[in-house]
Amino acid sequence: MIRRLSILLCAVIAPLAFVVPSASADPSPVTSPIGAGNNNQNIGSATFTRSADNSGNETLTVDISVPGGIAEDHLCLSTTAFTSRVSPGQCAYSHQNLGGATSDQYVVDLGTTYFGQTLYAQLHVTTSNGATAYAGWQPGNPFYGNVAIDAVAKGVPAAPLLGGFMPLGLAVLFIGGIGLVAWRRRHSIAS
């Protein structure tokens, strides 16, 4: 009786234990106002979402919203905080000739370059009317931007136990153990 029950439960639970979980995502993205000019006039916002898959490869998604329109924008990334303005032409990522679009998006494959580290972004926006603006506006001469995006995970990603479903994996092992004990008892009595 125990053997039949354990076989039935193993047949039902075992396939569920090998389901591979999807990529993890940062549950709390960083949203920053975009400030223009020396007086930090709020013209919109940018949301920085950092996510990682199970192997540690990361993606940074930046969603930009400027209701008054965007002429162009530039994104610089660093492992250290920005303390001054970087020339927008030196940024690795840029979108130009946006024609007054009210939103834009960057999706940057970070690989493992920044894994486990805080990532700093300087997002420069030129508005449709020619104003210079930065997410994470900082005072200075000239003003600049700095946004810190914390690491999604620290250290090396752990290999998931039986596909990441630890309670189900342990249940399969436990029930399999009961089945083995029942089988051994039955065979030792018959001998």
Do 78 and 43 belong together in one domain? yes
Let me know if residue 154 belongs to a domain. Answer: no
> Is there a contact between 1 and 29 (Cβ–Cβ < 8 Å)?
no
Element (H, E) at 21: none
Q: For the chain, what is the domain count?
A: 2
Do 33 and 106 belong together in one domain? yes
Do 145 and 82 belong together in one domain? yes
Do 67 and 88 belong together in one domain? yes
Q: Closest Cα to residue 69, out of 123, 130, 136?
A: 130
Do 145 and 179 belong together in one domain? no
Other Cβ atoms less than 10 A from the Cβ of 47: the count is 15
Let me know if residue 173 belongs to a domain. Answer: yes
Do 79 and 172 belong together in one domain? no
pTM: 0.67
Do 7 and 36 belong together in one domain? no
- Write the CATH number for 46: 2.60.40
Residue-wise pLDDT tens digits, 64-80:
999 999 999 999 999 99
> Is there a contact between 171 and 14 (Cβ–Cβ < 8 Å)?
no
Domain range enclosing 65:
24-149
Let me know if residue 176 belongs to a domain. Answer: yes
Q: What is the mean pLDDT of each run of 10 residues along the chain (191 residues)?
A: 49 43 52 97 97 90 98 98 96 97 97 93 97 98 96 50 43 51 58 56
Let me know if residue 132 belongs to a domain. Answer: yes
Let me know if residue 74 belongs to a domain. Answer: yes
Given this model, what pLDDT does residue 53 score? 87
Do 17 and 37 belong together in one domain? no
Do 12 and 30 belong together in one domain? no
Let me know if residue 155 belongs to a domain. Answer: no
Do 178 and 109 belong together in one domain? no
Given this model, what pLDDT does residue 185 score? 62
Do 8 and 37 belong together in one domain? no
Q: CA 10 to CA 83: how far, in whole Å?
A: 59
184, two tokens:
């051994």
Do 66 and 38 belong together in one domain? yes
